Structure 1
Amino acid sequence: MGKKVRIADVDQVPEGTAAEFVAEDRIIALFHVDGQYYAMDGVCPHAGGPLGEGSLSGNVVTCPWHGWQFDVTTGQHCLNERLCHPTFPVTVEADGIYIELPEANSE
Structure 2
Amino acid sequence: MKRLIEIPANRLPAEGQRVLLRHEETSVLLFNIAGTLHAIDESCPHSGASLFAGKLHGNMLQCPAHGLRFNLEKGCPGAKGMEVRTYPVSSHDEVCIVDLSEATTG
TM-score (norm 2): 0.80
Stretches of structure 2 lacking an aligned partner (at least 5 in a row)? none
**Residue identity in the other structure for 1:25:** E
Deviation at 1:96, TM superposition (A): 2.9
Give the structure 2 partner of residue 101 of structure 1: 100
Give the structure 2 partner of residue 57 of structure 1: 57
**Residue identity in the other structure for 1:42:** E
Give the structure 2 partner of residue 43 of structure 1: 43
Secondary structure at the aligned position of 2:52 is classed as helix
Write the distance in 2 (CA, Å) between the matches of 1:10 and 1:81: 37
Give the structure 2 partner of residue 28 of structure 1: 28
RMSD: 2.2
Write the distance in 1 (CA, Å) between the matches of 2:15 and 2:47: 27
TM-score (norm 1): 0.79
Superposition misfits of 4+ residues, deviation over 4 angstroms = none
Paired residue total: 102
1:53-92 to 2 correspondence within 5 Å? Answer: 53-77=53-77, 79-92=78-91
